[in-house]
Amino acid sequence: MHIINTVSDLRTVIRAWRIAGQSVAFVPTMGNLHAGHLALVNEAKKIADRVVVSIFVNPTQFGIGEDFESYPRTEHEDQAKLNAAGVDVLFQPTVSDVYEPDARTVVSVAGLSQCYCGASRPGHFDGVATVVCKLFNMVQPDIALFGLKDFQQLAVIRTMVRDLNIPVEIVGVETVREASGLAMSSRNGYLTVEEKIVAAKLYQSLCIAREAVLIGQQSYQEIEITALAFLQESGFLPDYFSVCRASDLKKAGAEDKELVLLVAARLGNTRLIDNIYLSR
């Protein structure tokens, strides 16, 4: 595995792959890698000749008071995992490699970026869209893979790629879960042993709501209210629980068939998100 820090060195390697007629898959990450990230890598290896993974803790997607400085950085462990997984290139740029000191351009996906997590974390998805757009320009992949756990993020990126005619195929990969059902996340490392047991109830709330939707005996609003009460009783401070249209994340109506249940809640000092997609 090659470890590359500059865009010029990265493009030299990718240019050689292109001349050889090889396809390139890209997995952008912020490091502190777990089995969910490695599932993206394994899927990338199945669908492309070469795999590039980036590790970059992006400052522009962290808000005031969020955990940019304390975000876990596990460089050596991450490198070992990616090398064992058969990644071709690990791209590790610095902040100055990614952002000019007087940068003025921001990519913003209107509507999708302001609801749900975007409402709780103003500017977060502008930071995500901007850095992903820049990374796409740096890596110039054929395919990019993202976890379905961050469903709103995936929706933002897909819309950006469509609207800006970026020639990258976006692939969503199923959420990897712990035995308890808790979705794997770098932020799970902030949970205490006791909190981690409680955290599994976030997924449980989604499973209960999914069954209620499929049975069809309650309105979506009633299902949301019940789920929020369940989370509060379990020890969470809920942010939102919503039954949405999968296509655009707007509130689902009775006529909608492809749905996603979105949830975000704080447990102690840790904010957790999860979702379930369903077709009815």
Shared domain for 106 and 240, answered yes or no, is: no
Same domain, 199 and 140: no
Residue 181 lies in a domain: no
**pLDDT > 80? residue 2:** yes
User: Are 65 and 190 contained in the same domain?
Assistant: no
Integer CA distances (angstroms), 129 to 89, 124, 149, 152, 232, in order = 23, 9, 17, 12, 32
Residues 211 and 114 in one domain: no
Q: Which amino acid is at 121?
A: R
Q: Do 127 and 243 share a domain, yes or no?
A: no
Interatomic CA distance for residues 256 and 167, integer angstroms: 30
CATH number of the domain at 43, please: 3.40.50.620
Alpha-carbon distance of 137 to 200, in angstroms, equals 38
Residue 47 lies in a domain: yes
Average pLDDT for residues 219-243, to the nearest whole number?
A: 97
Q: Is 76 a catalytic residue?
A: no
- Residue 180: inside a domain: no
Judgement on whether residues 61 and 133 belong to the same structural domain of the protein: yes
Out of 2, 34, 37, 124, which one is annotated catalytic?
37
The model carries a pTM of 0.94
What is the rounded CA–CA span in Å between residue 89 and residue 100?
24
The reported pLDDT for the residue numbered 237 is 97
Inside any domain, residue 9? yes
Query: Which pLDDT band holds residue 70 (cuts at 50, 70, 90)?
Result: confident
Whether residues 146 and 209 fall in one domain = no
Whether 67 has a pLDDT exceeding 80, the answer reads no
CATH of the domain at 248: 3.30.1300.10
Which two structure tokens, joined as six digits, stand for 172?
């969503």
Residue ending a domain, choose from 173, 195, 220 = 173
* Nearest residue to 229 via CA among 271, 260, 263, 197: 263
Give how many domains the chain has, as a whole number: 2
Are 168 and 201 within one domain?
Answer: no
pLDDT tens digits along 128-159: 999 999 999 999 999 999 999 999 999 999 99
> 274: domain range?
186-279
- Of 173, 207, 236, the residue that ends a domain is 173
pLDDT tens for 153-206 read: 999 999 999 999 999 999 999 999 999 999 999 999 999 999 999 999 999 999
Domain assignment of residue 179, yes or no? no
What is the average per-residue pLDDT within 21-42? 97
